[in-house]
Each structure stands twice: as structure tokens, then as C-alpha cells.
Amino acid sequence: KKNGIRSLIVTNGQVAEIHPDSNTSIIKEVPHGRVFLDGSFLVDEDEGVISERIKLMNNGIVIVSVLVTTTNPHLNFEVNFLGVPTIDDAKARLIGLLEGEFENSLSKQKASEGTNISNNLIETECRRLINRFFRAELGKKPQISVCIHREDY
């Protein structure tokens, strides 16, 4: 005020411009608070990308590849862990659990509705079993990616 500039209340994230004629105005908003640089983009903390990365950092990811053969219904599992602390034989135990549970499930389904098991059922069951395994093993719930491959002869 002493210099003849009008006062303006600027909140966090607003950019003010002081004009030569002593007028002031808010010209734009910029990201504020906790922001992250993702490549060349500034991203707010609340955006999905950041929360997904934080979950990956804290809990890791389990990637399951399932090969489904339809002539004689059978499932083959391949499992990889990234950022998931485990004991030495955790991979083998998880594959054993998945194979055992799906063998039971396939036997029941064969008796009731035929031999074709849906991708949705495979993915849902994989997620449920993996979550249960890691909750008991580590007390964590890793991100899970299930890839299903079908082999028809």
C-alpha cells in the first residue's frame, strides 16, 4: 500500500500479476500441495497414477499367467513376484495351492456344467486365492495381474 500497489489476497496455487499501473490480478492456477513429476508432467498426489504406484511400492505385484487347455481341461500356472518379500519356496507353494484349488473346481464343474471354464471365473478365483495366501503369509495384499491364455486343439 505504501508503494501505491493495491493489495490482493492470493491463496496457495494462484499466480498474481502486478501491473505497471498498480493494479493486481490473479492470472492462473498452478498445481500446489504435494505434486509429483511424472516424466514431463506435474501430477497431483490424489491422481490414480500416484496412488497405484504407492500401492505397488508398499505391497508389490503378483503376475500370474494361466494356460488353459480345453481338450482335457487343465490349467498350468506361472507366477512372478515383483517387490513382494517372500520366503524361498513361496512361489512353489502358491502354484501348488492354485493348481490344487482349480483341480477341485474343475472336477466339480465337469460334473455340473461341462468342461469350459470362463476367464472371469479363473481370474476371480486366482485373485481370491492369491489374496488369501499373501494375507496369511505377509499380512499384505499385493496388486494382482492375471493373464489367461487358451490353447484349443
pLDDT tens for 97-115 read: 888 888 777 666 654 554 5
Domain boundary among 54, 71, 102: 54
Residue 23 falls inside a structural domain: yes
Query: In the predicted model, is pLDDT for residue 69 greater than 90?
Result: no
pLDDT recorded at residue 147: 95
Task: Name the residue with higher pLDDT: 76 or 70.
Answer: 76
Computed from CA positions of residues 40, 41, 42, 45, in that sequence, does the dihedral angle turn out positive or negative?
A: negative
Q: Which of 117, 126, 69 lies closest to 95, judged by CA? A: 126
Range of the domain at 18: 14-54
Say if residue 130 is in the same domain as residue 146: yes
Number of domains in the chain: 2
Say if residue 40 is in the same domain as residue 75: no
Say if residue 73 is in the same domain as residue 45: no
Say if residue 95 is in the same domain as residue 141: yes
Query: Distance between CA atoms of 97 and 74, rounded to whole angstroms?
Result: 15
Say if residue 100 is in the same domain as residue 39: no
CA distances, 63 to each of 58, 81, 130, 145, 148 (Å): 16, 6, 10, 5, 11
The CATH number for 115's domain is 3.10.20.580
Q: What is the mean pLDDT of the chain?
A: 83
SS3 135: helix
Say if residue 33 is in the same domain as residue 93: no
Q: Nine-digit cell at 119?
A: 476367464
Say if residue 128 is in the same domain as residue 66: yes
pTM of structure? 0.66
Residue 3 falls inside a structural domain: no
